Structure 1
Amino acid sequence: MRALILTAIIIVIAFVVKIDLTEGTLPLAAFYPKDTANALCEDQREPNYLSVQTIQGDTIHSLFALHPAKVPMTFPERLQLFYELNPHLQLQALIPGENIKLPLSFAFENNCGK
């Protein structure tokens, strides 16, 4: 009988760990009510960008270095904006002569803070 109960407990723990690793735990934000006005403002955030034409040897790093962001942002944030502006470059290299958009900062289209 002990072996049966122990086996059931191990199966339940393994199932919980599997679910936790594959789907993740409940996000902490779900426990706190979100301010709807600020949530709408966050969803309406649009990046300012600069259109550039690439040349031979350009990389994303070199373009980011040549055209720094107007506001401080990390490289992963800027890279995410870059791929949002240029989804066709997700799985390919830069082609010389191609026009691409480089994100420079965030700007709000509406005046959410007022």
Structure 2
Amino acid sequence: MPLLTIHVDQTIETERKERLAETLPSVRDLLCREFNVDASFCQLAVIEVRGLADQARIAVEIRLLPKPERTRDLIISACEKLRGILLEATGERAAIRAFTLDPDAYIVLR
């Protein structure tokens, strides 16, 4: 159940934003493979933001429900692979943050 939000600074050129959007299926495939989930459990979004000039122009947040097999090393490895996909698409090194959610407090309505 990865929830992924990619915050893209408005100063990034339109062409690179479009390439980023085109990578979303590959990003979802990576998340499904790394975290052993079905695509229907993924939620991905790209949001244009206005940030400070000294911050990363692409910032990613990944939220996951904890599972025993989702070790710190696995999550770091997945984040590094994700960073590679984003770097190839945009030429920007993304800042990536990963969080685990409290399963007792997490509610989903579909």
Shorter chain as denominator, the TM-score bin is: under 0.3
Higher Cα radius of gyration: 1
Q: Which has the larger helix fraction?
A: 1
User: With structure 1 as the length reference, what TM-score do the two structures score?
Assistant: 0.24
User: With structure 2 as the length reference, what TM-score do the two structures score?
Assistant: 0.25
